A and B are shown apart, each in its own frame.
Chain A
């Protein structure tokens, strides 16, 4: 038995070592950057930064793509401690405990608004982020950060309807009403997070997604209750499998993920409803009290390098706000109307803003009621 325990430990460690040993040891920097001296001045100083990003939200070097973190470390000599979160709320909670100190975080629009309001973000020194000039002004100066004090956009996208062409009449897909359509009862999926779900109901009714009006929100909740009988399930990433396998006919989801699904299952298609869509932006910020603010800005600048932004966006599948990276993209992707919709398709894009505490509580209460209702 003793021997076997030893064998077990040896196997585990050997596997671990083998795994680490397999990493490509490529010492040469391969990425082309605007100004190499800007990065190399930090070399050999033993600097470190802590980056907190969404899972699967950066190019890792698999399949001959760019190993973004590795390239940054080689170029600047700054070591990156990279960890992941799954939701904006998780990121917020982790920062609130004060237990950990991050240098770069990547929250979404409404969470940036909330953190800025609560004084949790450090103002950026844009002079230290020269590549900011590549960011399309269409995606800056949004209501969550009107003066571009705190954030540099990383990705953006829209929410629309993904549907199966063989199961759905294409005449129905240009409106959010399709998610209420009894023809497709039992084949409709819906967001399981309250913010996105209420957003769709509010857009369907023609209201603003950031409304604080109790009457409007209650009407939206009524809509969601009415919708319940035709819904197959409230889901998030299960949408991928259910749509790809034809288990469901129609669902709302993010445009970039729709492209991924269509690549797997050609019967699927995507449309942006005429009532308008929700435009989301994930942006890089520096939390208050970051130990290495200047180095964090260097990292943010690196993420805005054309080649880096291109590699990241090709991995993530969402849309890039970096104009040069967009130009450098594969023609198919650059001209893909799902990822980069023409102006007239997104007639009325609405960006989520931070809601007041009272409204957040109302959302929670009504959402619980909706999920608990019998739906008739």
Chain B
């Protein structure tokens, strides 16, 4: 099965990886710089990491970002999954209509969504803050969940659901016992997308944040006049390492499962 990879394609692959990861490594490299400079490396130091944990403003911005990301992505996952199940059982023309409406927020420029959400919240005289941020993040995350769950529903054998009911399950318990496990991978990837988009988002948060809460991206952007503080490099490094560890864990888990599956098959044979 193994194909021999030519030197050229290896080189090409290396080049792609280089361009993808070089900026991150440069960022990590300068997080250990003794001085504030982004061009001269004057010596190794952990001082930005220490300062990071003493900076109340940065930490509270980070906390806000994490809370908003967790709450909004959980809510968006539940809403999106329910919506996907509903859309799936619609008639064809209604389904394509709803799907077009779903695509709209994804195609729309973020700034348009941001401004329109701001106007909406103003109309309802809501106080801008955590609540408006979470609502805004839910609204732009839901389409991603729907788009991740729908294909899984299509792949699912609808007869499984009917069979469960034939065997005495109520519609609700057959949904949770049969449908949910089938579409789980889609739900999870939708959740992950919602979570990352929420962490990343600047423009929509910018228009919907208030006088009491700011998210990490807004905090970083505000440093533009005085040059971004290397504490941000340190924080980015920590986040990068956490994400890397999680990815390694997931891959390790998947490969373990695959091995178990292979073993089982062998036993059956």
Partner-B contacts on A (CB < 8 A)? 1-2, 4-5, 7-9, 11-13, 15-16, 19-20, 22-24, 50, 52, 54-57, 60-63, 67, 69-70, 81-87, 97-102, 236-237, 240-241, 244-245, 247, 257, 260, 264-265, 316
Contact = CB atoms under 8 A, between A and B. Distances in A.
A371 B226 CA distance: 24
Given A8-B246, A15-B238, A56-B229, A22 B54 contact: yes
7 interchain residue pairs of minimum CB distance? A55-B222, A84-B222, A245-B39, A50-B211, A62-B51, A56-B226, A22-B53
Interface in B218-241: 218-219, 221-229, 231, 238
Interface stretch (B62-70, B100-108, B146-154, B170-178): B62-70
Contacts of B70: 9, 12-13
Contact of B226 (A9, A57, A63): A57
Contacts of A50: 211-212
Contact of A99 (B39, B57, B122): B122
A16 B118 contact: no
Interface stretch (B30-38, B85-93, B137-145): B30-38
Interface string B94-130: 0000000000000000000000001001100000100
B255 interface: no
Interface of B: 35-40, 47, 51-57, 59-60, 62-63, 66, 69-70, 118, 121-122, 128, 184-185, 188, 191, 209-214, 218-219, 221-229, 231, 238, 242, 245-246, 249-250, 253
A226 to B, nearest CB: 28
A85 B222 contact: yes
Nearest to A100: B211
A99 B114 CA distance: 13
A82 B249 CA distance: 38
Contacts of B227: 56, 237, 240, 257
A16 B226 contact: no
A265 B210 CA distance: 39
A151 B214 CA distance: 25
A19 B53 CA distance: 6
15 contacts: A1-B250, A1-B253, A4-B246, A4-B250, A5-B188, A13-B66, A16-B63, A19-B63, A23-B59, A55-B222, A56-B225, A69-B56, A69-B57, A237-B224, A260-B36
Contacts of A264: 35-37, 40
Q: Do most interface residues of chain A lie in helix, strand or loop, or is the interface mixed?
A: mixed
Contacts of B57: 60, 69, 82, 84
Contacts of A237: 224-228
B261 to A, nearest CB: 15
A62 B57 CA distance: 11
Contacts of B66: 12-13, 16
Nearest to A237: B227
A241 B38 contact: yes
Contacts of B250: 1, 4
B209 A241 contact: no
Contacts of B242: 11-12, 15
Contacts of B62: 16, 19
B55 A62 contact: yes
Contact of A55 (B122, B128, B226, B245): B226
A325 to B, nearest CB: 19
Contacts of A241: 37-39
B225 A61 contact: no
Contacts of A99: 118, 121-122, 128, 210
Nearest to B38: A241
Contacts of A86: 221-225
Given A5-B191, A23-B56, A67-B56, A55 B225 contact: yes
A109 to B, nearest CB: 15
Nearest to A242: B39
A4 B257 CA distance: 13
Nearest to B48: A62
Contacts of B213: 81, 83
A316 B46 CA distance: 22
Given A8-B246, A55-B222, A245-B39, A61 B59 contact: no
A21 to B, nearest CB: 9
A43 to B, nearest CB: 20
A255 to B, nearest CB: 14
